[in-house]
Amino acid sequence: MSTYCVTGGAGFIGSHLCERLLKLGHRVVCIDNFNGLYDYKIKIANILNSTGKDATFQFDGQEADLLHLQQAVNGDNYRLAVADIRHADELAAVFGSERIDAVIHLAAMAGVRPSIADPLLYEDVNVRGTMTVLEAMRKHGVRKWLCASSSSVYGNQTKVPFSETDRVDRSISPYAATKKACEVLAHTYYHLHGIDTMLLRFFTVYGERQRPDLAIHKFVGMLDRGEPLTIYGDGSSRRDYTYVGDIVDGIVGALAYVEANESVYEIVNLGTNRTISLLDLVRSVEAELGKEASIRWMPNQPGDVEQTYADISRANELFGYDPQSNFAEGLHRFVNWYRGSSHGQALGHRADL
């Protein structure tokens, strides 16, 4: 049994990863600060679902609720540490009390559009927070990690599919720039301190527990409630939508590769090598819900890239990454989860929410 630290482990991707690692028989240390990007109760539900625990909440306030959550889920194979990755003392308390074999660093301020509104917050959390994690690893002798990057680092380049060898120094959003900065920091710590690294460029992840601010979740909810959908641009922008189960397969494969090899610094795309237009996404949601959308057309949003499209050959070569879910199947699973979760939103059904 290995002990893995997952930062951002209460979030969408993080909770699925924690669930998988637990099923594989490992101990998981989940670090999350339950920030205000969306309702903290959603993350409580994520953790209860990922750990298989049942708990009833009266919701007496975030601090009391998180203490109750820790009491409900902490045990031999799982520990929830409510901590901010920017705070070295909080990370030291975790790393100093655990024998961590590897870190999977997913914690970040997410989203292109919010990063334009508050770029300094994104720099603080994503860049300083990542360096603080790296410093905690260095000081406590942890020499293996994975770090979440993003397809947004590719910007608006026209060459497709996007390859890890492409130039990525022309970001068009603060979020993308912070992710590129994290890749550079990771190389610095690999070079200076021998921290073996795999950087994972995620491509538009969707599926059960998806954050409520992301397109598929928003579109399903709005159409289900009979509200008009807001489309920015002409609907021709394209995304490489990647089902969360395939992403977790990729993370687990990357983790095994980093643990089995020495002197590793790699960047890999985790996508599907297929793209879907925004308008086709809307039509797919309409077909899944059996409803017709009313669309409100708006101008393009600053910072949004025109397309994402992953060349996944490097990940396949290194650790056999081979996504299995087609978009229709993944969307169907998401809608089934959405309909079965509390209030028809992102609150998981295990908790009494």
Each residue of 70-91: pLDDT tens digit? 999 999 999 999 999 999 999 9
How many whole angstroms separate alpha carbon 66 and alpha carbon 62?
Answer: 6
Question: 201 pairs with which residues across the strands?
Answer: 149, 269
The dihedral of CA 7, 11, 14, 17: what is its sign? Answer: positive
Catalytic residue check, 175? yes
Q: What is the pLDDT of residue 352?
A: 30
Give the chain's mean pLDDT: 94
Spell out the domain ranges in the chain: 3-203+243-273+310-323
Position 36 confidence tier, pLDDT thresholds 50, 70, 90: confident
pLDDT of 351 strictly over 80: no
Quick one: average pLDDT of 261-267?
A: 97
pTM, two decimals, is: 0.94
How many whole angstroms separate alpha carbon 285 and alpha carbon 224?
Answer: 10
Residue 197, amino acid:
T
pLDDT of 347 strictly over 50: no
The dihedral of CA 228, 240, 213, 18: what is its sign? Answer: positive
How far is CA 152 from its chain centroid? Answer: 13
Position 303 confidence tier, pLDDT thresholds 50, 70, 90: confident
pLDDT 10s digits, 274-302: 999 999 999 999 999 999 999 999 998 88
pLDDT 10s digits, 7-25: 999 999 999 999 999 999 9
pLDDT of 342 strictly over 80: no
Assign 70 to helix, strand or coil. helix
Q: State the catalytic residue, choosing from 4, 40, 175, 309.
A: 175
pLDDT of 160 strictly over 50: yes
Question: 232 pairs with which residues across the strands?
Answer: 298
pLDDT 10s digits, 96-106: 999 999 999 99
Q: Any idea which fold 3-203+243-273+310-323 has?
A: Rossmann fold (3.40.50)
pLDDT of 210 strictly over 80: yes
